[in-house]
Amino acid sequence: MEASEGKSKKPGASRLCCLCNQRRPVLKRPKTLQQICRECFYEVFEEEIHQVIVGNRLFKSGERVAIGASGGKDSTVLAYVLSELNRRHNYGLDLFLLSIDEGITGYRDDSLETVKRNEVQYGLPLQILSYKDLYGWTMDEIVKMIGLKNNCTFCGVFRRQALDRGAALLKVDKLVTGHNADDIAETVLLNILRGDIARLSRCTSITTGEDGPIPRCKPFKYTYEKEIVIYPSLLKLNFDTLTYDIRMLISRSWTTSPPNVSIYSPNAYRGFAREFIKDLERLRPRAILDIIKSGEDFRIATTTKMPEQGTCERCGYISSQKWCKACVLLEGLNRGLPKMGIGRARGGVNGDHKKETKKPPASAAKSLESKQCGSLDF
């Protein structure tokens, strides 16, 4: 992933960019701490993503690819970079923007305005699907019923399925998301802290869900969040064409948590992991890549039982239980028993059918129950 390292002429401080040795450096690259110029930053940033795409054979020519577009910095930069690389390297992809409107007033409605501008700026067709249309509930309404505790479980489970449904509607072959290296390192750490081996084993995969309805890819798997924030700021893009949201991000210190965090997410546990990784990164930038590598190199013991994938009897979505998690949560909401799908599901829908269903392995039950705030799965 260190495409730039080989090109380095003079490591350490220099008056000239340590990659081209011609121009004045304008930044210390967060990933390598090299002093480099704007042009070299763009080159290495884009080239590394291109190498990740090519090296992992993420796409085939002619494929239809949906970009999960939340309107935040990661997916906004992903939409731009992917459409640039698609043009430049002739990937032959048909790209689409796919946005899920969770129905969070003052949060998603604002960021969807960014996506609508991207639709015009990048010339990519946009599909928006809302929780209200898909499930009959907005997140505002869900939070009114269940309160702040556990609402991330509803949001994460519904979003995951909504993205799959949107991808099916667009008839795409793949879905890409803007999960970056920091997100992945954080998830590795959280899965270790929670002893969630099933998720640990797949959270570092660059492509997941190949056995499900739509494979998902993460082209930013090795891209640092700080660099995603810097990228649009260095004037290769005309600053006026940048979205307001990215300009706001650039003007903030990137050492603080990113501002695009749901207003309903206290995210305490994930927040600690995030801060811990940021501290490690300050001491040693490679720490992020090393955590990802550790996650990749974990071998799952053959005695660890993995959840068996089947399909939900109610909606047909993939599930390791009789009903998928989204259907269980929805049933709870509609019956006025919102806690039904949270925590241990005794007496819940899958619990009600205990006799008819095969008892899931302990690890499967655990992996369904362990999501508090923020998805530990991609």
Residues annotated as binding site for ATP?
A: 68-70, 74, 100, 178, 183
372 near ligand ATP, rule: CB under 6 A: no
138 near ligand ATP, rule: CB under 6 A: no
Q: What distances in angstroms separate CA 353 from CA 222, 282, 335, 357, 367, one per listed residue?
A: 43, 51, 17, 6, 19
CA distance 230 to 238: 14
CB within 8 Å of 149: residues ≥ 6 apart: none
Q: How far is the CB of 182 from ligand ATP (least distance, A)?
A: 8
Question: How many residues touch ligand ATP (CB under 6 A)?
Answer: 18
Q: State the binding site.
A: 68-70, 74, 100, 178, 183
Q: What distances in angstroms separate CA 68 from CA 90, 269, 309, 330, 376, one per listed residue?
A: 21, 25, 24, 23, 17
> Which residues on adjacent β-strands are paired with residue 217?
176, 207
Among 25, 30, 68, 341, binds ligand ATP (CB under 6 A): 68
By C-beta, is 37 or 115 nearer to ligand ATP? 115
| 162 touches 129 (CB < 8 A) | yes
Cα angle for residues 125, 165, 353 (degrees, 5° grid):
170
C-alpha 58: how far from its chain's center? 16
By C-beta, is 196 or 377 nearer to ligand ATP? 377
By CB under 6 A, which span of 137-145, 177-185, 306-314, 330-338 interacts with ligand ATP?
177-185
278 near ligand ATP, rule: CB under 6 A: no
Among 25, 103, 178, 232, binds ligand ATP (CB under 6 A): 178
CA distance 156 to 359: 24
| 288 touches 32 (CB < 8 A) | no
Rounded to 10 deg, the angle between the 268-283 and 287-297 helix axes is 120
100 near ligand ATP, rule: CB under 6 A: yes
177 near ligand ATP, rule: CB under 6 A: yes
* Residues in 142-171 at the binding interface with ligand ATP, rule: CB under 6 A: 159
Among 29, 31, 50, 73, binds ligand ATP (CB under 6 A): 73
Q: Which residues are at the interface with ligand ATP (CB under 6 A)?
A: 68-70, 72-75, 98-100, 102, 159, 177-179, 183, 258, 260
